[in-house]
Structure 1
């Protein structure tokens, strides 16, 4: 099960609508060669959701793109919308960007839950860890509900779990 869960954290750009290239703001500096506001497509993004400078990102000043990982959030959200791309259906752009931000938070939480498996967790904390993993890695039919639950229910529960790890880590 752990290997399957860890695979969820691997970005699959071939099955994504380049959500990171649209949703994220970038600031010109050592990691990025230009400024781009959130919600605007990167000027290097082709209409097929591929980067026209992908082979030369670092050389052209986009090392931040090389190092960024959406932790699999991009392909998850893209799959939720199926063939409904933000380009073909601009009304989907804002909901997709919002879902991408939430999904990225959820995947970061999953990454921490996987790491917590290396701790000597008491049974109650291990059960909570497993329950949280199940909650934030839903099947396709439950994905929208999981995204909706995250801010109000699951995120606070995850944060409380992380706080409870202090007792384990401090020993």
Structure 2
């Protein structure tokens, strides 16, 4: 009995030592909110609009040099248009921040949390994450590239999934040339 107990104790000791000598080297790197950019572009039958929105906070998590996670928060109140000026610019920005679109007074932040990271090449990854906009959370999938201390991604988002209804053919009939397409693009350039 003593021999079995000693053998079991030694097995546990060596197994624990082996695990301790190969720890996972997780590093959480903060994203620079000043140097990073998020550019949006929305489309309608008669054209498009584009602008930027600011990151509030963000992190990428690495195991050695492999990306394994991430989380981001965007300040929806900073949504601005860059393709218009003057009164038209103010009207578009006010409308996008209103309850017709993103309701930034009630929902000042949007959040993304990576739920799965799959390496697809040396510096490229397929990301699946939970995106929360207007209090609604749905999965999104996109490609992300990492080079040194920079990362880039192009993300397509279907606004209808987040109850952003204004001008959407998914919710309203007979909009004609007043239709605003459900999908919009985010071009994300991160510096960490």
Of Structure 1 and Structure 2, the greater strand share is in 2
TM-score by length of 1: 0.21
**TM-score normalized with structure 2 length:** 0.19
Name whichever structure is richer in helix by fraction. Answer: 1
Give 1 or 2 for the bigger CA radius of gyration: 2
